[in-house]
Structure 1
Amino acid sequence: MGNLGLAEMQIALASRFASFDLESSPHRSAFQWGGTIFALSLIQAQQPYAGKKTTDCANPDTSDSVLGYTCNGLNRTCQSYLVFRSQPSYNTVTSISNLLSADPTQVAEINEVPEAASFETNQLVIVPVNCSCSGDFYQNPPSKITVPPPPPPPPPSSSLTPPSPPSGSSNRTWVYVLAGVLGGAAVLLIVGVVIFCVFFRKSRKNPILVVSSNPSESFEAIAKKKKLQDESQSLDFLDSMSSIAQSLNLKMYKFEELQVATDNFSSSSQIKGSVYRGVIQGDFAAIKKGNGDVSKEIELLNKVNHSNLIRLSGVCFHDGHWYLVYEYAANGALSDWIFHSDNSGKFLSWKQRIQIALDVATGLNYLHSFTNPPHIHKDLKSSNVLLDGDFRAKLANFALARSTEGEEGQFALTRHIVGTKGYMAPEYLENGLVSTKLDVYAFGVLLLEIVTGKEASAFYGEEYMNLSEILNKVVQEKDGKEGLKQLIDPFLLENYPSELVIIVINLIHTCLKKDPTARPAMDEIVRSLSRILTTSSAFDSSSNMSWSQASTGSY
């Protein structure tokens, strides 16, 4: 992280020492307390984990250049733990302890169970292990388990082969068999033709619906846009769609319900474009009319569950169109609050902006690190970030979201380049490379917009061709404060901590690196913004500002 890491260390130094667990650290003897901290050169304030990439299951990098926690203290051993998920054959204290070379007594004690206890399948079990210095890193040496080869197959049967019948009888038998096979094939052919004709005629009258027999499989429903012929066919189709929605834990709305909720999709209920505000059972909802295939978006939103991702509560299919029912975000899109094209009076303080950025980063980190396979949003921009009544951010519009998993764990490639100009990463535009670093680049653009109050297109119109070059002046300045006045949103009226703004600018600069491998991972960004938000709360000069924050924003 370069300058970013150094500046963060300077600002968050006190809070890090306050939260450092001396009792569990193998380096507690390196600290001497008496009003002053001594021997600071013996250990870092926070133990760096060099092997953080090894915790990413989707990372194909298997190199051993990054191993783990740096062994830089006085003590050469420490007690740590690992987490094991119990499975059949390894679901007791004894079997798990033998598998992982652990002490059964300690395993039973830390999990608060007797030594003879058994665990349920998939239950998380804490297993204490002893780590020691090996080279420059703390590690627990692995052990090899030799699996015996499978037993040899049983010998062939020793029974004698029955004598063959006379040749004449054999010839007649083959004739009978051949005649039977040909006759059966002819019958099957005739039956198949009849079934095909009946099915073909029926399929011309009814919409085609392809449904997986396994609810956990991919959800794909293809419906013809041709109007249903009569009321009975329409009811049958809605019943089948309702069964699909129930298998996905989604409510299947009738179109008439949405008409009532939106006053027949009147202009007074329209939020923006094809999104309408509705009232369903006394609660506000956002109803979006979708065009084209929305099955992937429905499938993804049905799988995820996170407070920083917009929640899909139900669906409706009518007249060849999908209608998606989302939770309602009372304060509308982020773009309505940071781009001051009118005198709407909408304003966000410095602390609110950092909180929103942290919410967005947390939602992206969930997609990148906690979905299997990892997914990316692929269309991150200010209009796709919604704010609820408490100005907490939620990611929306997952129409372009996709998996980053390629062949054999490598990066995915695509020739179909889609997205929003100004937010797309260089490697995606030039080579079609798809990875989580696409979202990191787009997040850097979004964070730049949040801090400056300007749209990304405004920067591309200037003499600089690369967004990172715009920030070079601030990053390369000795203190960076002079360049901030020209860069930061003037609506903040300089009510912001300059030192923290410089850290944010450094963070944006690293997110916009042309080399995707030089950009930070989303979990690193979350940690950085968390520290910035904590310090911003202490500063909080914006708490006494007289701006009025309306609570009736658009979706």
Structure 2
Amino acid sequence: MDFYFKIINVLSTVLLLSFSSLIEAQQPYIRKSTDCAVSDNSTTNLGYIYNGITPTCQAYLTFRSQPPLYNSISTISDLLSVDASQLAQLNSVSEDETFVQDKIVLVPVNCSRSTSGQYYQASISYVIRPNDGFFDIATKTLKGLSTCQAIQAQNSVSSNDLDVGMRIGVPLRCGCPTQNQSDAGFKYLLTYLVTVGETVDRISNTIGVETSRILEANGLLPEETIYFYTTLLIPLQNPPTSSQVTEPNTSPPPPPPSSPPTPPGEGSSKAWIYVVAGVVGGLVLLLIVGAIVFCVFFRVSKKQFDPVIVSDSYEAREKSTDKKQDVEYSDFFDSVSSIAESLKVYKFEELQSATQNFSPSCWIKGSVYRGTFNGDLAAIKKINGDVSKEISILNKINHFNLIRLSGVCFNNGDWYLVYEYAVNGPLTEWIINNNNQKLLTWTQRIQIALDVATGLNYLHSYAFPPYVHKDIKSDTILLDGDYRAKIFNFDLARSADGEGGQFVLTRHIVGTKGHMAPEYLENGMISTKLDVYSFGILMLEMLTGKEVASLYELETDLSDVLEPILNEENGKENLSNFIDTSLQRNYPADIAIFMVRLIINCIKTDPSGRPNMNEIVQSLLRISKTSFAWERSISISE
């Protein structure tokens, strides 16, 4: 008898766990658009909960075009920080395409676990426009792809303190498939924007996904109403196509048919029906999992007697150099497919054509070449070694101020990474190795510093896991056509998710002398404050136009070099002898002294005394605002 009781207890536990997993497969649906004035930081408002099988994944959104601001491939890609060519390809249009009002545009995003570990999100960087507030951004610009509560939670500034031109972080709603969805063959989740008059059935018929799957994914009951300016998660087996979405129906929804009131107890009866259905579904799921486990075990046992097949592309090349090119690409794609689903895989012949067979005229620096694909420029970096770490990092992050990786290639043992092209090259050519041939104004330098700080703040606070770049210097900062900064070279980057999220230790000290923090050099301590120190050195070089090595010749402690500038009596005179001569005194002295104070704080010996990147961003936002006002006053006076 005891044996049977044990069997019953085990089955009860299994059923409970199975039913719980079905509940965890659901995401909460936002049933109304909530004003920021309402203090409601529920899971519903802050984002889709982290319940998937991976911390990051390829996901998709729908965006509704809004002439004249966001109605083209270029403007939408800028707003949502996505590659224009990928956006055009996904929607089967050219890159110069424009859209009519409320046209549904599919958007690919990298969906990642938030820093808090509770939600999924795809973060973008948004520049405040006149009359913008968090509610306006969430409901008018993004039509519900974010919420004012989620935006407020990600920024230290309130909605009432937003200034035009200020850059803030905005989390977009996205999700990754749960174990149940993955077992059912669903690989992607589409965040679908609901418009006026739409129902779950209508969306189901349009996209071609069973209504029951959509209801389950969003924790909805069949009779529940959905609202415009809200989002639904649509599970997909394949990436969405433009043919799956149609123009939104702007006609008002028909009035609901009159029906008799629900008898008392009927709702609870329906609830029990769902419970029973969940239990039965759990049993079915258990049987399926058991069958899969049996098949996998049997298959593995059988393979123990088979010859060993080398899957690593390098070893395979050494043992069989005469393999066909298509086999080589198959091996390559298998090795990176799990982390590079959103990347284009190039054939080597395409890279040869793009670079004129890697002609010296296309050479940029080191192993980096300039390439042209369909009229668009790209930077191609050749690497001999393991690139999975860099691809994995770049595939998880998505920010305007971080260089974008758009494609990869493998040929003859070498990897080739294809990045977006920054036409103005590395920052070092503009502030150190320029011989005064290339000039950056004061406001351009401040904007570049703000861009770098914003990118680092994203890495430290919004990427999951948080990352430390470890090599911030003028060589790893690229400038685009508008002199906006892009952080490059993630070779040394690593997770900062150590004990308590504070720091990790290493014995492998790698970096650039003069830019490395003392705690890293002495003890191998890695934390986000390592980047803060390097950023302080970068600002120092931007202010002086000199390499940090030449400044160390003056004093062993850089703070001793900077302290005289803070002297109230002759600080401005000391500053004029210290600041970059190419500025020709065209700078606001009071603001420059404030910059010196910020630099001193960043390069403090004790890492706990340094500000974090969010505090630095807020300081630079104030400096930027004041600097642009100074520049306008100079222009008017002239």
Selected match of 1:278 from 353, 358, 371: 371
Q: Distance in 2 between matches of 1:371 and 1:122?
A: 24
Change (3 A) 1:365 1:235: same
RMSD: 3.4
1:258 aligns to what?
A: 351
Q: Distance in 1 between matches of 2:415 and 2:625?
A: 43
User: The residue matched to 1:226 in structure 2 has which SS?
Assistant: helix
CA contact (8 A) 1:349 1:542 kept: no
Q: Distance in 1 between matches of 2:449 and 2:226?
A: 45
Selected match of 1:236 from 304, 324, 327: 327
Q: Distance in 2 between matches of 1:452 and 1:350?
A: 12
Shift of 1:471: 0.7
Q: Distance in 2 between matches of 1:82 and 1:393?
A: 29
Q: State the Cα deviation string for residues 392-429 of structure 1 (Å, max 9, x = none).
A: 00000000011111135442111111011110000011
Shift of 1:294: 1.5
TM-score normalised according to structure 2 size: 0.52
1:390 aligns to what?
A: 482
**1:431 aligned onto 2:557:** no
Shift of 1:363: 0.3
- Structure 2's unaligned 5+ residue stretches are 1-36, 39-113, 118-147, 154-172, 179-223, 234-296
Shift of 1:248: 2.2
Shift of 1:466: 1.6
TM-score normalised according to structure 1 size: 0.59
Change (3 A) 1:419 1:82: same
User: The residue matched to 1:287 in structure 2 has which SS?
Assistant: strand
Look up the equivalent residue of 1:402 and give its one-letter code.
R
Q: Distance in 2 between matches of 1:404 and 1:223?
A: 32
Look up the equivalent residue of 1:393 and give its one-letter code.
A
Shift of 1:540: 1.1
Look up the equivalent residue of 2:609 and give its one-letter code.
A
**1:316 aligned onto 2:409:** yes
Look up the equivalent residue of 1:498 and give its one-letter code.
A
Shift of 1:281: 1.4
Q: State the Cα deviation string for residues 172-221 of structure 1 (Å, max 9, x = none).
A: xxxxxxxxxxxxxxxx9xx97x9557423x43xxx525xxxxxxxxxxxx
User: The residue matched to 2:598 in structure 1 has which SS?
Assistant: helix
CA contact (8 A) 1:443 1:511 kept: yes
| Equivalent residue runs for 1:30-429 within 5 Å | 57=116, 198-200=306-308, 202-203=309-310, 207-208=311-312, 226=318, 228-232=320-324, 234-242=325-333, 244-245=336-337, 248-342=341-435, 345-429=437-521
Q: Distance in 2 between matches of 1:348 and 1:448?
A: 15
2:622 aligns to what?
A: 531
**1:469 aligned onto 2:577:** no
Q: Distance in 1 between matches of 2:432 and 2:174?
A: 52
CA contact (8 A) 1:226 1:320 kept: no
CA contact (8 A) 2:115 2:462 kept: no
Change (3 A) 1:285 1:380: same
CA contact (8 A) 1:495 1:541 kept: no
Look up the equivalent residue of 1:250 and give its one-letter code.
L
Q: Distance in 2 between matches of 1:503 and 1:522?
A: 17
Percent identity of the aligned residues? 53
Q: State the Cα deviation string for residues 84-112 of structure 1 (Å, max 9, x = none).
A: 99999xxxxxxxxxxxxxxxxxxxxxxxx
**1:485 aligned onto 2:589:** no
Q: Distance in 2 between matches of 1:348 and 1:284?
A: 24
Look up the equivalent residue of 1:368 and give its one-letter code.
H
Q: Distance in 1 between matches of 2:367 and 2:515?
A: 23
Change (3 A) 1:458 1:317: same
Change (3 A) 1:341 1:327: closer
1:501 aligns to what?
A: 592
Shift of 1:236: 1.6
Q: Distance in 2 between matches of 1:315 and 1:377?
A: 21
Shift of 1:477: 3.7
User: The residue matched to 2:443 in structure 1 has which SS?
Assistant: helix
Look up the equivalent residue of 2:610 and give its one-letter code.
R
CA contact (8 A) 2:115 2:466 kept: no
Q: Distance in 1 between matches of 2:525 and 2:116?
A: 20
Q: Distance in 2 between matches of 1:504 and 1:227?
A: 58
Q: Distance in 1 between matches of 2:232 and 2:388?
A: 30
Shift of 1:237: 2.5
Q: Distance in 1 between matches of 2:598 and 2:315?
A: 46
Q: Distance in 1 between matches of 2:439 and 2:174?
A: 51
- Structure 1's unaligned 5+ residue stretches are 1-22, 25-54, 59-80, 89-115, 124-187, 210-221, 546-555
CA contact (8 A) 1:445 1:508 kept: yes
Q: Distance in 2 between matches of 1:513 and 1:298?
A: 33
Q: Distance in 2 between matches of 1:331 and 1:341?
A: 12
Look up the equivalent residue of 2:607 and give its one-letter code.
P
Q: Distance in 1 between matches of 2:328 and 2:458?
A: 36
CA contact (8 A) 1:329 1:389 kept: yes
Q: State the Cα deviation string for residues 451-503 of structure 1 (Å, max 9, x = none).
A: 100011111222x1121221111124446212101110011110100000000
Shift of 1:544: 6.3
